[in-house]
Structure 1
């Protein structure tokens, strides 16, 4: 999420950490859908990365959006780094390499997600096109080296950039070269949270395959269908992955707190400054033992910020975040919230989805997650291809959305947003395989056509 939390109440007990998560429990009538998507800016001329500075840079793009939208600017050390919609709750923020993110407002239906997306893209285009900036709907930048990519002026990213190479091979690539789309959904009780977390963790590889869209690195096929997903396997395993313990007895808010207390921290924010505490534990900080802040205890803001630096396949905050999908062209973006809403917000479908995955072991789930970036639909679990399971999940989601029966102005329910995924299942191939076909065929081994065909 774009904004670092600000609540400077010092924490006294672990119970407060648990209570902070529990405060996310909502009545099903109040369930909302949040969708966040990232897209890579590029120069329309020459297809180069877009710097932050300058009259045609990302800073200028954000200034233009501020004037157009009237949203509140998010500033850091005199630089505009994002925008916040005080009335609706949406935000625009920057990822480390300039990836432009819309964190959508919490809305009631996928129809509203679609409207919000179309309005956002029209607004962005109005400002970006005169600046000569376009946006790419892929899971990873297809042609630039790490060295070519500009660095956005955000303190937390500087700290993460220094820390990442110590803990994994691909952390810098994750930060500077990838784009995702994610869906945030609510829960009605601790038990409901646990059930949704387990189902969505087990099925995250399905979303990864359906949205696999990052087969190119530095102008060539990289051997994967979702290299973005592969990158997460070696970014920082202390804070990512499939959370096998979430399937064990006793799972709940307290168990998540105990997990998060031991995930190494990146930073502590004081005023506009980010203090580098990378590698230290929140548990020690909690006991007043952080070497950078001796004797000081964390605040609720520190806790909220820390939870936002944990990157498993599904993340618990005061809602659940589905994190397995590659960034995509705009037409596919509403399909992700539709897919998960259909599976998780209808109790019959949620039960059926749990039946589908309940007998999978931790090892089987892990092996499916490890295989999906390379093999997509051809990955297997037990004796089944992922393709068959994806087909089944799509049917379940479709039924769940039909039963939800949220109708737009012309009488259509939300199941229509699954159409792009149904087309993928009908042809039996991931989006990445379609792109590779083009690369080896009509594109004549060049990545340049992607900047037209995969642009927003």
Structure 2
């Protein structure tokens, strides 16, 4: 049934679905890349190349990962959830290898980075993406860059249960949000110019862009209290991107722009067009983009896309922090000792300065050291542990992130190229 909801009914629906998966240990990952034609990384694939790539890539990989497309033609791999981080890494690594081979056969390569230096190009015109584009256009001029020129690693973990310890949802929410700025800084891979004439460079330009472009739906959220109630109030007070019509949802005209400034709470109280139904609530929840999103499980969304196989590192680190009991206990002690309760300002500063902030660098080193110990207990394959250890030695323990070795991406919105659309029928996330 999709009956109209009252405000209390909508609040109950959000509360009940926010952190409803209580198992601990299951973990998944979603990876995004920019697709670059071989031989000329400065241009975007034309329509014929896009069609060939889409046909060769298909929509599913041998170990269960699904392929989809983001608004600017970014390629996304959504791995299936697994019962252990070892199984997750093994399966996704196999699918990534197949995906890279297929991309090369299609004359393309996959770039793991948080920001694309090419001009933004909106090439996947799904109704949901069109609604987002119209929404961002009201807020400024950087919406296309955010939609088309950003890529991330998203780690998905179980929400936890009602217990007070490491399996509990309150502990897991606390660690994900309290250590989130350190994780963002540790894996920052999107240097972007800011300041007068671009003299300075943000460490995670992708996350800075997200905070700057949309101050109404990007969070972050408080660490204390019942996280389900925290999430419910945030979702009710977040602005609505679009309002679905009764036409089929695959119709290009299936979404209307929401009235400017409309929140879900305001809509439920009669300020929006018509009644609010459960489907509207779930579409609204899917549009929310805080660093940690509660959608039954927890999505950690603050991590930039990584080069090569370094996507394994944030996946393994998060698994150790949340799914190994001694590591979780030690991390909670660190959070308490440092009185960590990051505000929005703290997150914005972390995205800008990254590990150049001495306190954040020290927290990142401590966090990484704890994670390395936890990974031994979790029994990850030696090659995975070695990848994390090398990353730590080359980057985190030296106070460096991948952004320190990458040139800032100068996205030029005034420049436009032809925008080849991903062909009809290709899955988009």
Tell me: CA distance 1:427–1:38, structure 2 relative to 1, closer, same or farther (3 Å).
same
TM-score, with length taken from structure 2: 0.81
Aligned residue among 350, 368, 390 for 2:364: 390
The C-alpha deviation readout for 1:150-179, integer Å capped at 9, x for no partner, is: 421211111111211323564332211111
Specify whether residues 140 and 222 from structure 1 end up closer, same or farther in structure 2 by C-alpha distance, changes over 3 A only: farther
Residue 61 of structure 1 and its aligned partner are, at CA, apart by 2.1
2:414 is equivalent to residue 429 of structure 1: no
Counterpart in the other structure of 2:68: 93
Cα contact 1:402–1:413 (8 A) shared by 2: no
Contact 1:368 1:379 in 2 (8 A): no
Partner of 2:106: 131
SS at match of 1:330: coil
Q: Which residue does the alignment assign to 1:353?
A: 331
Aligned pair partner of 1:110 in 74, 85, 89: 85
How many angstroms does 1:272 deviate by?
A: 1.5
Q: What is the alpha-carbon distance in structure 2 between the residues aligned to residue 216 and residue 264 of structure 1? A: 27
1:65 corresponds to 2:40: no
Question: Secondary structure at the residue paired with 1:392?
Answer: helix
Contact 1:229 1:324 in 2 (8 A): yes
Report SS of the residue matched to 1:322.
Answer: strand
> Using the alignment, how far apart are the partners of 1:260 and 1:181 within structure 2?
23
User: Structure 1 residues 316 and 168, CA, compared in 2 at 3 Å: closer, same or farther?
Assistant: farther
1:18 partnered with 2:10: no
Preserved contact between residue 193 and residue 201 of structure 2 (Cα < 8 Å): no
| Alignment CA distance shift 1:435-1:18 (3 Å) | closer
Work out the CA distance in 1 between the residues paired with 2:344 and 2:271: 35
Contact 1:221–1:436, Cα closer than 8 Å, also in 2 = no
Q: Distance in 2 between matches of 1:362 and 1:168?
A: 32
* Aligned partners of 1:186 and 1:320 also within 8 Å: yes
TM-score (normalised: structure 1):
0.77
The Cα of 1:390 is off from its aligned counterpart by: 1.1
**2:263 is the alignment partner of 1:281:** yes
Q: Which residue of 2 aligns with 1:339?
A: 317
Residues 348-374 of structure 1, C-alpha deviation per residue, up to 9 Å, x if partnerless?
222221221236567765444222233
Q: Which residue of 2 aligns with 1:167?
A: 139
1:331/1:420 contact within 8 Å kept: no
Matched, 1:189 2:161: yes
2:296 is the counterpart of 1:314: no
Name the CA distance, whole Å, in 2 between partners of 1:255 and 1:425.
32
Structure 1 regions of 5+ residues with no counterpart? 1-6, 67-82, 438-456
Go from structure 1 to structure 2 and tell me whether the alpha carbon gap of 1:415 and 1:133 turns closer, same or farther (over 3 Å shift): closer
Count of paired positions: 390
Instruction: Note the C-alpha offset of 1:394.
Output: 1.0
Gap regions ≥5 residues in structure 2 = 409-429
Q: Counterparts of 2:173 and 2:342 in 1: how far apart (Å)? A: 17
